[in-house]
Structure 1
């Protein structure tokens, strides 16, 4: 059968050795759940290795939860706790923005003599090509 006929033909494939008896247990569980063995294995792997959630998305979720708490629970202690939560989230956002800005600036810096690194053989290490990012200066 020619490759590419089905979308799954274009997905990563991985040959796997299973210990004795594991294949039978996977097959039984897949049948019980009305899935193929592949779908059952992928389900278990996805549960164990979830897709990373970006920091911003996590922070937005926290803000939403804090807002829900503020609306549903009233009291001076709760309000103080939620205010502290907002302050912590804001600090994380500011820190993340600082880190992101530093990383962006490091990509646009021009190589300088004092940052050259000597390799063991006495040759200078290759500098990454950052020309596509521009110099970071106006008019350059």
Structure 2
């Protein structure tokens, strides 16, 4: 899958965007490390070529080089703390099934598994209201 950072955000790579320093908490470091692993794994997957941008640490997928376009799908890294105090990285994949849906009503899937996150992203790209009809790799 080819991900191209939109021009307005091209001064940092996606890996740099999801990097942390020593002042970050353990949970954020774990979530961002998992996101960097997901980004690397996405590049090795056979999938569509899309533009991406980040907004509030969300990875947003769009059809062209403009963050104002409708978001096809997005992936948000975060973490959950278990009862034992261990942090687990999670990914939330969200997308609009119909164009009129407001963000709070988007379909949302959550996983801690990178392979499953990739499949969720690919499926959400196909099921999104804003999937491009002229991109053969996005056939519904």
TM-score, normalising length: structure 2: 0.24
Q: Which has the higher contact order (CA 8 A, sep 6+)?
A: 2
| Larger strand proportion of the pair | 2
| Larger helix proportion of the pair | 1
> Whose Rg is larger?
1
